Amino acid sequence: MTKLKDKTVLVTGGASGIGRLMGDMCLQEGAKQLVIWDISKEKLDETTREFRSMHFIVHPYLVDVSDLQAVIETAVKVRAEAGEVDILINNAGIISGNRNFAGFTHPEIDRTMAVNTNALMHVTLEFLPAMISKGQGHIVNISSAAGMLSNPQMSVYCASKWAVAGWSDSLRIELERSQTGVHVTTVTPSYINTGMFTGVRVNPLMPLLKPEDIAARVVRAVKANKLFVRAPFMVKLLPFTKGILPVSLFDLVAGRWLGVYRSMGGFTGHGGDK
Give the strands of the sheet with 137-142, arranged side by side: 58-62, 33-38, 8-12, 87-90, 137-142, 182-189, 228-231
Rounded Cα–Cα distance for residues 47 and 53 (Å):
10
Tell me, yes or no, if 261 is annotated catalytic. Answer: no
Rounded Cα–Cα distance for residues 36 and 75 (Å):
12
Select which of 61, 157, 191, 261 is catalytic: 157
- Residue 6: left (phi > 0), alpha (psi -120 to 50), or beta? left
Q: Is 144 helix (H, G, I), strand (E, B) or coil?
A: coil
Neighbouring-strand partners of residue 60: 36
Rounded Cα–Cα distance for residues 94 and 70 (Å):
18
If you compute the radius of gyration of the chain from its CA atoms, what whole number of angstroms results?
A: 18
- Residue 30: left (phi > 0), alpha (psi -120 to 50), or beta? left
Range 238-256 burial, b when 16+ CB lie within 10 A, else e: beeeeeeeeeeebeeebee
- Give φ, ψ of 116 to 5 degrees: -80, -25
Residues forming the active site: 157
